[in-house]
Structure 1
Amino acid sequence: MIGVELRKLALRPRVWVSVLLLCLLPAIVAVFLATADFAPPPGQGGAFLSAVLANGSLYPAAALALVLPVFLPVAVAVTAGDAIAGEAASGTLRYLLVRPVGRTRLLTGKLVALAVFVVLAIVAVVITSLAVGVGLFGSGGAAAPGAVGQAGGVTSLSGASLSSTALGLRLLGAIGYIVVSMLGFAVIVLFLSTLTDSALGAALGGLAVLITSSILETLDSAVAIKPYLPTHYWLSWIDFFRDPVFWHNIDKGLLLQAGYLVVFFGAAWANFGTKDITS
């Protein structure tokens, strides 16, 4: 079942279009940044954008900061919303279940396909942004005026110099953390996809969750529930680029997303297991 879902994922043009668009945004930003006469002041603009002029190998981190708040969750919501609701709307869901395929296996296959999509999208963004960043800014030459960093190295957010190996390991950690964060959001939309026959409705429901969580993050009166919002620890991946790594929020973010995965996948399984798909 997992193989079937992966083949369906690979054969859907919109999957590759969404990945292409995710890669295109950081590339466009890099071109504008390379043609400007100065870098964004430290602390302003997207994360790491003030540092990439000194070393383009840091641009994948800047690219992740660009796509994570909105564009990546939107792509995940569209894909997850189509998982069950899209099959129901097209009439293929009942034929899938006529075969000796259990609903649990089908739902698990959908979740694995979502995980593969998330990994594919993030890795594609990292690889393309690395190529663009090194091509436009070099890999550690003389620091540009106004840029953060030093020749031949990368400066962490704490001011310490990072070697290429340390930067690579921290980037891998950040990728893993973002994958888990997006899966926590994806499983919410997957649950919504079991409630409706409209893939668009499920995706819009997921975006409503995203927008609501983002708005509540800005309200002082919502301080009691902020630690439980799905988006609360999303940007904690940046702590991988501190020296030493600031694990406090990373650990809390992983625990929160694990909770969302268990609760909402369980809810999706409970609802889908009793759902009437013959009407």
Structure 2
Amino acid sequence: MSEITNCKTGIERLLQVMKRLRDPEHGCPWDKEQTFATIAPYTIEEAYEVADAIAREDWPDLKGELGDLLFQVVFYAQMASEQHWYDFDAIAHAMADKLERRHPHVFAEGEYQSHEQLHQDWEKRKAAEREQRAQKRQQETVSLMDDIPLALPALMRAQKIQKRAASVGFDWPDVDGVFEKIHEELAELQQAMANQSAEEIEEELGDLLYSVVNLARHLGVKSETALANSNDKFVRRFQDMERTAAQKDRSLSEMNADALEQLWQQAKRNA
């Protein structure tokens, strides 16, 4: 324990704590049995909790959530070190190398011309990195879609896919084409409903959602953020309905459709 308490920095202490937790003889049984695959869901959960603390502007809570997220990286680094692949220090150096490589206008001789030029240069460097990774994997072709994570939320992943496709000109020239596509997909969904085919309905509904995400991208809106905001707005209004009903000693389940609609309209006015 003295080795841990004598650490000079917080990260050194955290790394030592993690090493102790994974110690084959004296470590924690739960931590010792974890793998990269079993920890991954926790990492996603912790990232969402960081985002939640930021959305709530709860800065004291954010400190703890950032610590939880950092712990995930430390956990992966310890497991990788046990396999003699790399350690936390190597991960940090690799990230620093990437940042310096992608920001020549800050760290090298590159010149800042415009935000658009920076974006183009950034995409070129990312494309070169994708090609290098493809060569290491001995892929015959390099795809723009190669490094879009499968685990991303569906709306966010759809927007990234569309952005990549648009980078080579595969895109609607203006928002009018997107609106036409939405109407087309809506008609196809209605036809699938008429056919009473559950598989077809799911497919067409997915196509409709994908087209709506495309509209968000053309309008410069992040679809994931837009839907999250709408979720929060609905919850606020619904809770307002519950409070109003409770003040009248009633529950929402006791009310008919007209009464619920009146409460909803009142909640919208209160928002």
TM-score w.r.t. the length of structure 1 is 0.25
Name whichever structure is richer in helix by fraction. Answer: 2
Structure with more relative contact order (C-alpha pairs < 8 Å, separation 6 or more) = 1
TM-score w.r.t. the length of structure 2 is 0.26
